[in-house]
């Protein structure tokens, strides 16, 4: 139908299991182009498993996944390469190569996908992404071990943006950061999303992040997506985990902080 939001990701009937342990069953999820979708759920609900399935890193037992209109479960090289070039990922902890400098880390996907580019152009592009991530230029020559936790996450963002992706996947991006650092990182994500027109799939436990930058929130529980809607609607959803999460002490504090900003 015309007027319906264009989808960046469409998941239908997904089933993920580890032996006899079923993590997802008949899971459906839509991610709209240009939105920041927060993905939340209790421990063991398979948030990272879902992300890895969408990225093609872990084939599901059943279901279909479309990413940017392409079958993400196809084994054809052309389709998988197209999705890979259009997605950037920040895994928990940054997952940077410890023996490479920040600039060399950012250059890895550029060298892999565009080996024909001259070395000086790759270096220039890597430094551009480093600046976009809010890092000083001298960070490019440093090893990940020489950076603070927050700077390592920004280096991970720089690498995730190396190929100018349409989709950005973030797995617990503010975990381990102090409140000031977490708020600054949230602002970076929102700024990049608006400036670059990104679609962001964001796994988080951070209620402040949900209230600060997410357009919609998808709640994983009972092996599926219970609700995928704006926060005001999610807060009212009648489910024990949802009510405890959004209306417990931390939830009330996040709501109060958002109200003060408004």
pLDDT tens digit sequence for 220-231: 999 999 999 999
Q: Given this model, what pLDDT does residue 56 score?
A: 87
Residue 246, pLDDT > 60, answer yes
Helices (H), 148-239: 149-160, 179-196, 207-213, 231-235
Residue 154, pLDDT > 80, answer yes
Instruction: Give, for 63, the enclosing helix (H) or strand (E).
Output: strand 62-67
Looking at every residue in the chain, the average pLDDT score rounds to: 91
Q: Given this model, what pLDDT does residue 257 score?
A: 65
pTM: 0.91
Residue 74, pLDDT > 90, answer no
How far is the C-alpha of 144 from the C-alpha of 19, rounded, in Å?
Answer: 37
Q: Given this model, what pLDDT does residue 252 score?
A: 63
Q: How far apart are the first and last CA of the chain?
A: 35
Spatial contact of 96 and 159, defined as CB atoms under 8 Å apart: yes
Q: Given this model, what pLDDT does residue 259 score?
A: 65
Q: Given this model, what pLDDT does residue 1 score?
A: 46
């Amino acid at each position: 139908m015309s007027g319906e939001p264009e989808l960046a990701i469409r998941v239908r009937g997904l089933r993920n299991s580890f032996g006899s342990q079923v993590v997802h069953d008949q899971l459906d999820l839509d991610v709209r182009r240009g939105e920041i979708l927060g993905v939340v759920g209790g421990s063991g609900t398979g948030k990272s498993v879902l992300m890895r399935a969408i990225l093609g890193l872990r084939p599901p037992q059943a279901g279909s996944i479309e990413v940017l209109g392409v079958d993400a479960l196809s084994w054809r090289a052309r389709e998988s390469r197209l999705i890979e070039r259009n997605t950037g990922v920040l895994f928990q902890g940054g997952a940077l190569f410890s023996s490479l400098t920040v600039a060399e880390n950012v250059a890895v996907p550029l060298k892999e996908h565009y080996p024909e580019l001259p070395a000086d152009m790759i270096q220039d592009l890597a430094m551009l992404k480093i600046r976009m991530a809010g890092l000083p230029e001298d960070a490019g020559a440093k090893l990940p071990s020489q950076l603070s936790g927050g700077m390592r996450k920004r280096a991970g963002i720089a690498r995730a943006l190396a190929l100018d992706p349409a989709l950005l996947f973030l797995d617990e991006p503010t975990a381990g950061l102090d409140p000031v650092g977490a708020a600054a990182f949230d602002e970076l994500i929102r700024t990049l999303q608006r400036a670059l027109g990104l679609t962001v799939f964001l796994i988080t436990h951070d209620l402040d992040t949900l209230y600060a930058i997410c357009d919609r929130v998808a709640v994983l529980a009972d092996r599926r997506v219970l609700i995928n809607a704006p926060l005001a609607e999610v807060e009212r959803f009648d489910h024990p985990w949802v009510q405890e999460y959004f209306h417990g002490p931390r939830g009330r504090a996040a709501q109060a902080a958002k109200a003060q900003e408004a």
